[in-house]
Amino acid sequence: MKTYDVVIVGAGPGGIYAAYELQERAPQLKVAVLEAGHPLERRKCPIDGKTVLSCVNCPRCSIMSGFGGAGAFSDGKYNITNDFGGTLHERIGKRTALELMRYVDGVNLENGGAGCKLYSTAGSRFQKLCLQNRLKLLEASVRHLGTDVNAVVLRNLYDRLKDWADFYFDTPVRHIRLDGTGFVAECDGASFACAKCVVSVGRSGSKWMEAVCAELGIGTKSNRVDLGVRVELPAVVFEHLTDELYESKIVYRTEKFEDNVRTFCMNPHGIVVEENTNGIVTVNGHSYEDPALQTQNTNFALLVSKHFSEPFKDSNGYGESIARLSNMLGGGVMVQRFGDLTRGRRSTVQRIEEGLVVPTLSATPGDLSLVLPKRILDGVIEMISALDRIAPGTANDDTLLYGVEVKFYNMEVELSDRLETCHPGLFVIGDGSGITHSLSHASASGVFVAREIAEGV
Ligand SMILES: Cc1cc2nc3c(=O)[nH]c(=O)nc-3n(C[C@H](O)[C@H](O)[C@H](O)COP(=O)(O)OP(=O)(O)OC[C@H]3O[C@@H](n4cnc5c(N)ncnc54)[C@H](O)[C@@H]3O)c2cc1C
């Protein structure tokens, strides 16, 4: 049994920033970071677009786990806002949440991110244009690090932390046990005792987190899933928006069902990628800061939020079933031209090849109306028409829709305003807590908890 003052479970942005801030504020503490995935340099998704075209279900998905967490190969869009990306501000206050996000942004800049542009929607002329078309542009500042710079920042943070904290990779924690006033993190063949434990297991650790909460009698609730598609179109169609704002988060309220549909994760000149969550293949996207790696296309998700009420509790199960259906029909991610969808026919390899948009992901041409529930699909179609009014060309026949994109929300863990469970000293942060859904909120929650711990030393 190894003994530490603090054990951090998970080396995603939440865990990394918890470690960073502990090193800053309480360097005398002995800290271990236990990570299920690989070190940064060993993280490699086998999909190469040539011999391996789609997900082969690796035991540890390199896109989702390892040093840097799910964010490591992400587009590194660092949003500074309380309007989306999580509800951290409801626990720690709006001002503190923004201060912490700005603090992390500053650290990112010091560690390789300097020079990356900060975009802002404040005072943008697009706010009026959106409102005139039943759309709402959400307020945010976004620093676009890009996948390449994001990796540099992570490497620098690791170099800074590695001689101070003990990192254990390929070390999934199986159980957390209460031990007197402390905790024991049990792994295969090793156990780690600690006075304080910070759990930051992200989305890939959602099922595990649920089991830990059940074992330790920690309350949880879950009632939301976002479902939709990833849209890919020529970058010029959205250029007026993306040049000024980079990422525009736009919300549309559907006429038919009065559901909210929103744009999510916009990647100018980016690529569409597969994502594997607990063996289910869904779609995502990212882009590079380096012009040499950029494409002619822009992609973004259109998601419809689905909130369930009693007695149904398994919102993620619902999202998974729909993603499985798409995997069953398409063998992975499915792609359809918008024109084929509105004409009620499946897309074919030939129709996609003849289209004006060259897909950046090799996906199976199919029919999304056989996968997505009518309510979701109607919302997506309505929103594409609304976006066409502010970005003409969005509703062109050749616009590609990849499905399905699912945004799973971890069940929300019952936590105090210190992000502490009912067991004093056991904290849950980042996306694993269900409170954050973004790089900025997850990182900020890590800094927040590290300061709470350092104050008590
Ligand atoms: C392709 C992609 C693109 C994205 N792009 C953006 C973006 O541009 N902007 C943005 O704000 N957000 C983006 N996100 C979301 C963002 O990456 C997450 O919100 C963020 O990484 C959450 O950080 P986290 O530390 O809470 O969790 P994670 O980053 O998920 O890290 C959790 C870590 O815990 C480890 N773990 C899990 N279970 C265990 C266990 N039992 N024992 C030990 N370790 C465990 C995992 O291996 C993982 O490394 C993207 C996500 C993906 C997948």
- The per-residue DSSP string of 373-429 comes to -HHHHHHHHHHHHHHHHHSTTTT-TT-EEEEEEEEE-PPEE---TTSB-SSTTEEE-
CA angle 304, 308, 310 (to 5 degrees): 175
The pick from 431, 435, 441, 449 for probing ligand 1's pocket by mutation, whose C-beta has the most ligand atoms within 8 angstroms, reads 431
Residue type at 155 in one-letter notation: R
State the Cα–Cα distance between residues 438 and 431, nearest whole angstrom: 7
Q: Note the maximum CA span of the chain.
A: 67
Ligand 1 contacts CB of residue 203 (under 6 A): yes
pLDDT of residue 173: 98
State the Cα–Cα distance between residues 271 and 79, nearest whole angstrom: 20
Cα distances (Å, whole numbers) of residue 29 to 194, 355, 421, 427, 437:
11, 59, 22, 17, 29
Helices first, then strands: H and E counts in the chain = 12, 22
Residues of the chain with pLDDT under 50: none
DSSP letter, residue 411: P
Ligand 1 contacts CB of residue 205 (under 6 A): yes
What is the whole-number distance in angstroms between the Cα of residue 180 and the centre of ligand 1?
31
Atom of ligand 1 nearest to the CA of 286: 3
Q: Indicate whether this model's pTM tops 0.75.
A: yes
In 3D space, the residue among 193, 221, 159 whose CA is nearest the CA of residue 19 turns out to be 159
State the Cα–Cα distance between residues 138 and 119, nearest whole angstrom: 13
State the Cα–Cα distance between residues 238 and 365, nearest whole angstrom: 24
What is the whole-number distance in angstroms between the Cα of residue 200 and the centre of ligand 1?
9
What is the whole-number distance in angstroms between the Cα of residue 429 and the centre of ligand 1?
11
Instruction: Give residue for tokens 């296309």.
Output: 297
The pick from 104, 199, 204, 247 for probing ligand 1's pocket by mutation, whose C-beta has the most ligand atoms within 8 angstroms, reads 204
What is the whole-number distance in angstroms between the Cα of residue 408 and the centre of ligand 1?
12
- Bridge partners of residue 232, in order along the sequence: 299, 400
State the Cα–Cα distance between residues 366 and 346, nearest whole angstrom: 5
Atom of ligand 1 nearest to the CA of 77: 8
What residues have CB less than 8 Å from 343, skipping those under 6 apart? none
In 3D space, the residue among 252, 274, 456, 271 whose CA is nearest the CA of residue 363 turns out to be 274
Ligand 1 contacts CB of residue 443 (under 6 A): no
Instruction: Give residue for tokens 């959106």.
Output: 130
State the Cα–Cα distance between residues 81 and 328, nearest whole angstrom: 38
> Is the Cα dihedral 104, 107, 113, 119 positive or negative?
positive
Q: Cα-flanking dihedrals φ and ψ of residue 308, to 5°?
A: -105, 150
State the Cα–Cα distance between residues 219 and 308, nearest whole angstrom: 18
Q: Indicate left, alpha or beta for 393 from its phi (over 0: left) and psi (-120 to 50: alpha).
A: left
State the Cα–Cα distance between residues 25 and 46, nearest whole angstrom: 39
Ligand 1 contacts CB of residue 154 (under 6 A): no
Residue type at 3 in one-letter notation: T
State the Cα–Cα distance between residues 92 and 167, nearest whole angstrom: 29
Ligand 1 contacts CB of residue 81 (under 6 A): no
> Is the Cα dihedral 60, 306, 338, 136 positive or negative?
negative
pLDDT of residue 124: 85
User: 92: part of which helix (H) or strand (E)?
Assistant: helix 88-92
pLDDT of residue 53: 72
State the Cα–Cα distance between residues 29 and 193, nearest whole angstrom: 14
The residue contributing the CA closest to ligand 1 atom 15 is 438
The tokens for 252 are 């549309």
State the Cα–Cα distance between residues 228 and 231, nearest whole angstrom: 10
The pick from 439, 441, 445, 447 for probing ligand 1's pocket by mutation, whose C-beta has the most ligand atoms within 8 angstroms, reads 439
Ligand 1 contacts CB of residue 15 (under 6 A): yes
pLDDT of residue 309: 80
State the Cα–Cα distance between residues 320 and 308, nearest whole angstrom: 15
